[in-house]
């Protein structure tokens, strides 16, 4: 499975705070943002750098520099917005798109209501943001929307993933790499990730 999980003591520490039902909105939002930044660093391991020549205070040298114009972040609304500031701190000049989806509480299927991306999105590597990969439905729909626009390289960043969602995503889009802080145990009957951290959107925006 094309999944990269951040196995690190500090990530587990941060997740323990996120999972705690007593963690307040401010701290929850800050940690979602912070883990998003860590995930972005990991997702950029294969980034290609352009060679540039610079002057240090001592010498002239050749070094690598990222062409930030080749990237776009696309958060899935609304919870994906919680990760945006973190990843933007890593690649400040990346363009931003938005995909709006909500979950039908009876069918548990995603309903699309908004899609707006940069005009030249097909020329960029796109990194999708969504804290929770549960059933995989929203991720699959978002990827299909982007591929319909001609996007060739897509990565998916999430905080928590469920095995069922990962399996479904791999079946539909085996070319998409998933970066997550932790793969949890299972989905309950209401399609929430267990042990999870509750509804990420509600906890990010204080609407729980």
CATH classification of the domain holding 195: 3.40.50.2020
- Residue entry with tokens 């401010």: 26
Q: Which of 19, 29, 85, 202 is catalytic?
A: 202
- Tell me the backbone φ, ψ of residue 83, rounded to 5 degrees: -95, -10
Which of 19, 29, 78, 103 is catalytic? The answer is 103
Q: How far is CA 119 from CA 60, 77, 115, 116, 146, in A?
A: 38, 19, 12, 9, 12
pLDDT band at 1 (very low <50, low <70, confident <90, very high): low
150-174 pLDDT per residue, tens? 999 999 999 999 999 999 999 999 9
Whether 107 is a known active-site residue: answer: yes
Q: What total of structural domains would you count in the chain?
A: 1
Q: Which residues contact 6 (CB under 8 A, 6 or more apart)?
A: 35, 38, 39, 42, 179, 180, 181, 182
pTM value is 0.91
Q: Is 202 annotated as catalytic? A: yes
d(CA 190, CA 92) in angstroms, rounded, equals 37
> Which of the residues 107, 120, 135, 141 is marked catalytic?
107
User: Is 199 an annotated catalytic residue?
Assistant: yes
């Amino acid at each position: 499975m094309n999944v990269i999980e951040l196995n690190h003591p500090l990530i587990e520490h941060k997740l323990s705070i996120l999972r705690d039902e007593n963690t307040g909105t401010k701290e929850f939002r800050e940690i979602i943002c912070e883990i998003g930044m860590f995930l972005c660093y990991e997702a950029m391991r294969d980034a290609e750098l352009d060679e540039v020549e610079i002057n240090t205070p001592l010498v002239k040298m050749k070094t690598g520099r990222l062409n930030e114009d080749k990237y776009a972040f696309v958060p899935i609304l609304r919870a994906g917005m919680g990760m945006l500031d973190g990843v933007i701190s890593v690649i400040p000049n990346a363009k931003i798109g938005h995909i709006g989806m909500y979950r039908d509480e009876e069918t548990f299927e995603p309903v699309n209501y908004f899609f707006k991306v940069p005009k030249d999105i097909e020329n960029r590597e796109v990194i999708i943001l969504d804290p929770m990969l549960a059933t995989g439905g929203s991720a699959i729909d978002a990827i299909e929307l982007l591929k319909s626009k001609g996007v060739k390289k897509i990565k998916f960043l999430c905080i928590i993933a469920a095995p069922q969602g990962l399996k479904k995503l791999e079946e539909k889009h085996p070319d998409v790499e998933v970066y997550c802080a932790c793969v949890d145990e299972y989905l309950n009957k209401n399609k929430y990730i267990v042990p999870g951290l509750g509804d990420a959107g509600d906890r990010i925006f204080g609407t729980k």
